[in-house]
Amino acid sequence: MRVREVVEELGLTVLTTGELDQEVRWGFCSDLLSDVLGHAREGDIWITHQRHLNVVAVAKLKGIAAIVCVRNLRPSPEVLAKADGQGVTVLLSSEDAFEVAGRLYRLLSP
């Protein structure tokens, strides 16, 4: 499944369009950057409450397919500009992390 299809299925808002045709392998839910660095895999969709500049750097480094910011916690224009410049897709959901993770799990499960 592609990022664009996940956006459509989950009703997410696209804040930056890195690579909407990137293949999504799985999801990862964490607010600890060290946890993401140590355990997220390339192609994961990262669900988080975090929305500062370092999130973009970690997503780029790990090859994250997209970042989903939950509870309408919108990153600042500075963060979005950095994500856009780095080709990192940032998405927004009004739902909380638990709801987004559950819906993504059902969508990606074989």
Give the global pTM: 0.96
CATH number at residue 41: 3.40.1390.20
**In terms of residue numbers, what domain contains 69?**
3-108
- Domain total for the chain? 1
34-to-3, 31, 69, 73 alpha-carbon distances in Å: 24, 9, 18, 21
Sheet of 66-69: strand order equals 13-16, 90-92, 66-69, 44-48, 26-29
Model pLDDT for residues 67-93, shown as the tens digit of each residue: 999 999 999 999 999 999 999 999 999
Q: Which two tokens stand for residue 91?
A: 């998405």
Q: How confident is the model at residue 27 (pLDDT cuts 50, 70, 90)?
A: very high
Inter-CA distances, 106 with 9, 52, 81, 86, 100, Å: 11, 28, 32, 30, 10
